[in-house]
Amino acid sequence: MPAKGSLSVICGPMFSGKSRELIRVVHIAEIAGQRTALFKPRIDTRYSHTDIASHDGIRKQAQSVDTAREILPVLARHTSLPEVIAIDEGQFFDRGITAVCLWLVDRGRRVVVAGLDRNFRGEPFGSMPELLACADEVVKLRAVCMRCKDPRVTAVLPQRMIDGRPAPYDSPEVMVGGADFYEARCLDCHEVPGKPDISTLVQGVLVDEPNHSFAPWTVNPGAG
């Protein structure tokens, strides 16, 4: 039985260096003599229609596809499957992306996916949660918060800006853009006007309704 490959996921907010790290992984593989194939969603045309590009200008030629299922026919045109398959902007792919990645892993390939793990609302984004659950390795990057500029590199969320103001919660989930529409923000500086108050959503879980007491936090000092 052939040895299995691996699935690595690089995630984090915008401007954290995800695409740069993906390109670095591919570059090292090529130095080691491995064959590579790179893919990106066709919807992402911010810097190039054909290249994977980091926000600071690092580029690598890739194949643009509309759906996850298109990746396999492209790979089939190779004499044999490349040893390393890299996929950028994983959050823009349909749910089939996980099945494609695991199919390649089963055939001994190393698959590396980069993408936003959370959307501008701070919620799980697209297919990324499933990819993260199936990953053998997760690299979670951070960025400098563009509001408080904390040097500890605390930004974990993308902040969407419309006309200089935070985008409301009911804005479309997908809006492709760069520094013209997005900033990296830390949890304290991230703003989403109109976002549901989570305290009302979990009230029934945290509060014992008949007694109005916080039952889940009751601790028995003698326990353990």
- The catalytic site residues sit at 89
- Extended strands (E) in the chain: 6-11, 36-41, 51-53, 59-61, 63-65, 84-87, 110-115, 137-140, 157-162, 165-166, 182-185
Cα(52)–Cα(128) distance, integer angstroms: 18
- Residue 158 DSSP SS3: strand
CB 157 within 8 A of CB 190: yes
Q: For 104, how many CA atoms within 13 A lie in the half-sphere containing its CB?
A: 32
CB 112 within 8 A of CB 86: yes
Helices (H), 32-158: 71-76, 96-106, 128-134
Query: How many degrees, rounded to 5, is the angle at CA 19 between CA 150 and CA 181?
Result: 60
Beta bridge partner(s), residue 113: 9, 87
- Determine how many CB atoms are found less than 10 A away from the CB of residue 180: 7
The strands making up 63-65's β-sheet, listed across from edge to edge, are 63-65, 36-41, 84-87, 110-115, 6-11, 137-140
